[in-house]
Structure 1
Amino acid sequence: MHTSASMVTGIVFAPLGLVLVFTAAITPQWRERQARLGPGSFLRSGGKGQGTGVRSASMEVLILLRSDGLWESCLQVENSELKQCWPVAGPYRRDPRVRLAQGLILTSLFLCGTGIVLACIGVRCWTDIPLRGIAATGGLLVVIAGLLSLTALGVYTHNLTRLGMEDPSTGIHNPRFPPHLSLRPAGSLYFGWLGSCLQMLGGSALLLSFKRPRYPTCPSCPKLPVCPACRSCPEITNKPDTDVYEVSC
């Protein structure tokens, strides 16, 4: 039995894209910034009038990594297991661009999952003839899901350095955040971009299910195609060992 290449591509790439986008959505590494704590830090102690300074126990430079995602933020000491995470809060959580990205990603995950279910029903690997309309509809939903996730990633990436740092309506910088912070995209964004592209590729392949396959022609009448369901051509039906299928897997 043989499955069309477009259906195989769609069934493989669409779930893979869904997994990558879901991984990007639940991980907090959408953007990150670093802060260095040098060995010159002192811990002041003692009573009034005492200027005794006690040097911190660690003489090495510590690098703190702060990362933000759509639903979670984390603070970690580089090259260490010390890590603390908490739900996003404050101006970052209230930023309309972050909330837009959250809504688009959730909608994308729902549409992609629904499209994959429809595609599996439409392909119908347990029968000879697939339901092409249902498979193509599933592909359309997967393509829309890919477009939504790409939009969310584009909005977030374009405003990455301004999310939670300023009032979107007035453009006034938030005084709680120093203006010199260096923000950069992190790993979750790349997972999201890759997953969205795979969704677009898998959905586009499933859309090709609308295209009807070419049937073999009847030797006695080449202008008329042979229907594999009725096998109306005598030259084909007279061969008992010949089975013609439209699509199988």
Structure 2
Amino acid sequence: MMQTPASMVMGIVFSPLGLVLVFTAAITPQWREGQARLGMTGPGSLLRPGVKGHGMGVKSAESLLLLRSDGLWESCLQVEHSELKQCWPVAGPYQRDPRVRLAQGLILTSLFLCGTGIVLACIGVRCWTDLPLRGVAATGGLLVVMAGLLSLTALGVYTHNLGRLGLAAPSPGLNHHKSPHLSLHPAGSLYFGWLGSCLQVLGGGALLFSFKQPRCLPCPSCPEVPVCPACRSFPDITNKADTDVYEVTC
């Protein structure tokens, strides 16, 4: 029965976990968030200072706090302390920004490479047999490491340019000639992506140790014949009644 090396166990656990976190970051629209206070007391506003709504005083009617969030494929706008929320596919200058498109391409490539690497790693570990396919497992680890580096690059590019991505685009749903100023900051999806990318690099690096062949000890009774995990026993040795046979698990 094969004892799976600790490096393979670490790689086969961390790599899928990293893939799930990066995928979660890719599909959620919280890569960056911003807040803007929208004045409601202008000539064309719907609410006037002298008119009170249901449970709303003058101060709450004078302005609304808008919460804006952007992801790689979706943006959302919500009024604070309200169920009013609208999401739409990214469009305009933000969608056409080369840095956003670069991040999208790198993340998609990363997900594909990581998935392929995990499949190869599972085939290489071969927990149902005595001998792992070390070369296959290590190749899968290399792909997972490359996937982690690509997603780290995408996250770095996006984070470095976070405050300059497509701000000229007006926000859908706002009937204003000029969108309010947004104070943007990193959001939760970025943190999921960073954590997942680091786990991919760690898991893939652990699988890379599979390239290293185990060092098998020779049989004490017959030093010139090495005991290899590929052989449960040696016929030349087992034919001798006074010779002990050692089975080594590497």
**TM-score of the aligned structures, taking structure 2 as reference length:** 0.82
How many residues are paired up? 231
Q: Distance in 1 between matches of 2:44 and 2:77?
A: 25
Q: 2:131, 2:229 within 8 Å by CA — same for their partners in 1?
A: no
- 2:237 pairs with 1:234: yes
Counterpart secondary structure, 1:161: helix
Q: Distance in 2 between matches of 1:210 and 1:52?
A: 72
State the one-letter code of the partner of 1:16: L
State the one-letter code of the partner of 1:197: C
State the one-letter code of the partner of 1:94: R
Q: Distance in 2 between matches of 1:52 and 1:119?
A: 65
Match in the other structure for 1:245 = 249
Q: Distance in 1 between matches of 2:215 and 2:224?
A: 13
Counterpart secondary structure, 1:73: strand
Match of 2:51 among 43, 48, 54: 54
Q: Distance in 2 between matches of 1:43 and 1:122?
A: 70
Q: Distance in 2 between matches of 1:149 and 1:76?
A: 28
- 2:134 pairs with 1:125: no
Match in the other structure for 2:200 = 199
Q: 2:131, 2:230 within 8 Å by CA — same for their partners in 1?
A: no
**Alpha-carbon shift at residue 83 of structure 1 (Å):** 1.8
Q: Distance in 2 between matches of 1:229 and 1:149?
A: 39
Deviations along 1:62-102, whole A, 9 cap, x unmatched? 43210000000001233443321110111101100000000
State the one-letter code of the partner of 2:194: W
Q: Distance in 2 between matches of 1:69 and 1:227?
A: 53
Q: 1:33, 1:184 within 8 Å by CA — same for their partners in 2?
A: yes
State the one-letter code of the partner of 2:161: N
Percentage identity across paired residues of the two chains? 76
Q: 1:44, 1:54 within 8 Å by CA — same for their partners in 2?
A: no
Q: Where in structure 2 are the equivalents of 1:1-249 lying within 5 Å?
A: 1=1, 2-37=3-38, 41=41, 54-57=51-54, 58-59=56-57, 60=60, 62-165=64-167, 180-220=181-221, 222=223, 225-230=226-231, 231-232=233-234, 234=237, 238-239=243-244, 243-246=247-250
Residues 88, 236 of structure 1: alpha-carbon distance in 2 compared, 3 angstrom cutoff: farther
Counterpart secondary structure, 2:75: strand
Counterpart secondary structure, 1:70: coil
State the one-letter code of the partner of 2:76: C
Q: Distance in 2 between matches of 1:228 and 1:30?
A: 49
Q: Distance in 2 between matches of 1:31 and 1:52?
A: 33
Deviations along 1:119-154, whole A, 9 cap, x unmatched? 000111111001111100000000000010000000
**TM-score of the aligned structures, taking structure 1 as reference length:** 0.82
**Alpha-carbon shift at residue 222 of structure 1 (Å):** 4.8
State the one-letter code of the partner of 1:110: F
**Alpha-carbon shift at residue 215 of structure 1 (Å):** 1.2
Q: Distance in 1 between matches of 2:82 and 2:52?
A: 21
**Alpha-carbon shift at residue 214 of structure 1 (Å):** 1.8
